[in-house]
Structure 1
Amino acid sequence: MLSSFKRTKMGQRMSNLSGRSSTSRSNRESGESSEKQRRLADNAPIEYPTRTECPIPYKMSLLLDTPPRKECDSMGWNTEDKSMNIVVLPECNGRVCRRLPVAQSTDCIRGNKGFSTGIHMWEIEWEVKQRGTHAMIGVATAEAPLHCPGYRSLIGSNKESWGWDLGRSKLLHDCVRLPPRTYPKFSNTSVAEDILCLTDCIKVILDMDAGTLSFMADNIFLGVAFEGLQGRTIYPIISAVWGHCEVKIRYISSFQSVAAFTLKELCRRVIKQSCRESIQQNNNNNNAAKSHNDSSSSLRSNSPEDSQRSRSGAFGLHGSASASSNNNNAQQTSNHAKSYLETKVETLPLPLTLKQYLLE
């Protein structure tokens, strides 16, 4: 009787626990649903699906193939629009800023040019080992704060700035109201970590006509980070906490509309794209032929002398120089591609000045 009574009480407890868990699960799901509805009602930024690589939009591909324009030399950091703990190095034409070693301080600096129309691209060069815990890049209006006490993610702390926290891979904008978002959203998270841990240079693409902000790292387009930036004047901005870190900005190119491209520039892009495709096809054919020859030679070398020679080469000088050999192969491939492009352009029935323009 006693044992059956214990089993009955235990069964009642288990049913109560399961009821509580199901109730908490339903409450949690309803809470997530209401949170999702709230973010949709507040026009929160779009959550982009996971992906391995994003296709580059047409206007951005045009911008990447455009030679640097004359106004690129005048862009740099603003010596008057910065935190007091950041200095602009005059010997670098105002393109490099340095944060002073001040403890418990987060400091920002804005670029000297603001954008309200057109599409613009610049590059931020920031060594990974100098980023620290709260390294951020992004854009901001003239009203965004440039200093705060302590170490924090300052860009994106209000409605006047949009920032990417490089250390945490998070996007921030008006973070009091909107939660941070993971960026880039790759299906393989190790790929995104490798890109940020090994890349010192990050390209920023600001499309004021579409109102979007995007990033590129290691020549990989990471996708659109922010939307809804139209109707403002936007400046480049960075936020740093690491003492003595140096951050360089380099303006790459811009255009106001696709119609602003001349026929010569559009023809240049089409010809270079065709040459790239020919180079890629040629490299694929060479790699296929090389792998076929290697497999044939491995089948022929079955003698003990050949085996001994291959083992000695694998563990001798050849093995110690494998890294330099790989670098030499990459350099040879790059040189081969460049020479192949020059040969292709030379065969075109074009004036000499236009050929030189194509090879820029």
Structure 2
Amino acid sequence: MGLALCVCARRALRGANTPSLAPPASLASPFLPVAVTMPLLLAVALDAPPAPPGDPRSCWSSAHRSPNFSLSPEGRVALRAPAEQSTDGIRGAVGERGGLHVWQVDWDPAERGSHAVIGVSTRRCPLRTSGYAALVGGDAESWGWELGSNGLWHDDAPVGLYPRRRSGDVPLRVPSTVLVVLDADAGTLGFVVDGCFLGTAFWGLPHGTPLFPAVSSVRGGCRIALRYLNGSPREPPSLVSLCRLCVRRAVGRASEAAEDHVARRVDRMELPPALRRLFLYSPHTVADGAGAPRGTSTVQSVYRNARVLTRTSDPSRPHLRRRAEAVHLRGCHGDAEATAVSDSRSGP
């Protein structure tokens, strides 16, 4: 089904480049040359609609923070008060112990200073220390990426540069937005910058232990925003979700702002309504995790019988024609109404 639908999409969009399953990256990004292939599970999760802003996983913890951090009323933005000779940390309100999870951290480079670290931690990570240090990554309970030097930290020791390159290279300037990618089942942590997946930064994170997004800072007045984007169980992505991802890449989705452009190009394909809803993540499509729609059998049935419809234009085979039309109506109106319409057309 997936392969055939992708072929149909390519025919409907002649002239487009071969679609990539990875989210589009900025061609001007200095991270593009060091990016690695994005895992399909992550690509599907990033393509799916993000979690609503009110998701509790988008909030910093009001209890687990340094006293030098205060929170915005909704809990999504942490503000560090000026404090000399102090490194302060804060972690998310909700930890994850299984599945793939992606958080977006927004932190203006002008408000970072030295020792600006993003990563994950357990509940036992300290959230304040004297002096200036990489607090997230400063013990065995946390793993951090220091944005200024591009260095990785764990157990109070540097463990190399990230993304991987020669030690003498100039640090890459990390932009305001960084995606934290935690695979709690595999025990790995990675990051996405400018749409580029930079590979696995850490392996061997503890299994079955809640892991929280965490940051630490030494800069007074900095504002750090957190948003939970999406998550997925460990199971491989379904064929339907991969097909949808391929089609959406083929029509050129580059950001949430381009969703209307995707809708217009999908409309040009003249697909059955069920497939159109599938490709556009319509509210009528209920998902199990990232990109795993329920009611797949209906979509498969519409697709399979749409092929029958194209082969049944012969007037001598009206029973096949009626069968295909009934399935198409189910995609438009639902089973009950489609059955009534089909019966009225069948005649004696």
TM above 0.5: yes
Q: What are the Cα deviations for residues 155-180 of structure 1, in whole angstroms up to 9, with x where unaligned?
A: 111110000111111000113xx543
1:258 aligned counterpart, secondary structure: coil
Match of 1:312 in 2: none
Alignment of 1:189-228 (within 5 A): 193-194=172-173, 196=174, 199-228=175-204
Structure 1 unaligned spans of 5+: 1-50, 281-333
Alignment of 1:316-355 (within 5 A): 341-352=262-273, 355=276
Aligned length: 247
| Aligned-residue offset at 1:190 | 6.8
Q: Taking structure 1 as reference, are residues 135 and 115 closer, same or farther at Cα in structure 2, changes over 3 Å only?
A: same
Match of 1:154 in 2: 135
- One-letter code of the match for 2:88? D
Alignment of 1:246-285 (within 5 A): 246-258=223-235, 265-276=241-252
Alignment of 1:164-179 (within 5 A): 164-175=145-156, 178-179=157-158
Q: Taking structure 1 as reference, are residues 268 and 241 closer, same or farther at Cα in structure 2, changes over 3 Å only?
A: same
| Aligned-residue offset at 1:153 | 1.0
Q: What are the Cα deviations for residues 58-107 of structure 1, in whole angstroms up to 9, with x where unaligned?
A: 211121112224586222100011111100111xx210000011111100
Separation in structure 2 between the aligned mates of residue 85 and residue 139 of structure 1, nearest angstrom? 20
Name the TM-score, length of structure 1 as normaliser.
Answer: 0.62
Match of 2:101 in 1: 120
| Aligned-residue offset at 1:357 | 5.3
Q: Taking structure 1 as reference, are residues 245 and 70 closer, same or farther at Cα in structure 2, changes over 3 Å only?
A: closer
Match of 2:44 in 1: 62
2:250 aligned counterpart, secondary structure: helix
Separation in structure 2 between the aligned mates of residue 116 and residue 339 of structure 1, nearest angstrom? 36
Aligned match for 1:73, one of 55, 79, 84? 55
CA RMSD of aligned residues (A): 2.9
Match of 1:239 in 2: 216
Relative to structure 2, which stretch is displaced further, 68-77 or 98-107? 68-77
- One-letter code of the match for 1:237? A
1:180 aligned counterpart, secondary structure: strand
| Aligned-residue offset at 1:116 | 0.6
Separation in structure 2 between the aligned mates of residue 145 and residue 188 of structure 1, nearest angstrom? 29
Say which structure is richer in helix: 1
Name the TM-score, length of structure 2 as normaliser.
Answer: 0.64
> 2:86, 2:131 within 8 Å by CA — same for their partners in 1?
yes
| Aligned-residue offset at 1:191 | 8.2
Identity of aligned residues (%): 36
- One-letter code of the match for 2:149? R
Structure 2 unaligned spans of 5+: 1-32, 282-348
Q: Taking structure 1 as reference, are residues 70 and 200 closer, same or farther at Cα in structure 2, changes over 3 Å only?
A: closer
| Aligned-residue offset at 1:207 | 0.4
Bigger CA radius of gyration: 1
- One-letter code of the match for 2:163? P
Separation in structure 2 between the aligned mates of residue 249 and residue 126 of structure 1, nearest angstrom? 9
